[in-house]
Amino acid sequence: MPAERLSMRKVREVLRLRHTLGMSFRQISEATGIGKTVVGEYVRRAGVLGMTWPVPEAIDDAELERRLFPIPCETGPPRAAIDWRKIHEEMKRRSVTLVLLWQEYRAEQLARVFTDRGVTYDYAGEERAMPTDLIPRVIDAAEWDLVSKGGPPAGPGA
């Protein structure tokens, strides 16, 4: 079970101590009674948002909490549910492991995200997501010239 969040008053105090007094995470931890790791996480989250001290007056506690801890469904499209029956059937096949299925699932999800965001290329009139090889392939100059001109890459799986 996740730990309960700090009050936003304490988060503001952490930001003030860090940005006004330049205290280390350890010093802030000792001064406030909050763990070092938690202090670091709150400072990191605020840093990602570009938030320092003072926090703008327009941002009340509810808004600060919403920005620091966005609800996952607000940050991106919902993921498709995992088809456990399909996984169970696949696991019956020889040489299929959960790791292999996980890698395939991750590749499919990444391809979907790339396609949704327009990170694609056109091949023979078909829009495809950019390939993401687990092991990068070294491409020689001749093949690179062909690919950069819009030709198909040579080799296996092309």
For 40-83, what is each residue's pLDDT tens digit? 989 998 888 888 888 888 889 999 998 888 776 555 566 678 88
Query: Given this model, what pLDDT does residue 123 score?
Result: 75
Question: Which pair of tokens denotes residue 81?
Answer: 């549910």
Instruction: Report the length, in residues, of the chain.
Output: 158
d(CA 118, CA 71) in angstroms, rounded, equals: 25
Give the phi and the psi of residue 136 in degrees, each rounded to 5: -60, 145
Q: What percent helix, strand, coil does the chain show, rounded to 5?
A: 50, 5, 45
The whole-number average pLDDT for the span 84-106 is 90
pLDDT at residue 151 greater than cutoff 90: no
pLDDT at residue 158 greater than cutoff 70: no
pLDDT band at 143 (very low <50, low <70, confident <90, very high): confident
pLDDT band at 108 (very low <50, low <70, confident <90, very high): confident
pTM metric for this prediction = 0.47
Mean pLDDT computed over every residue of the chain: 82
Query: Given this model, what pLDDT does residue 15 score?
Result: 93
pLDDT at residue 24 greater than cutoff 90: yes
Q: Element (H or E) spanning 121, and its range?
A: strand 120-123
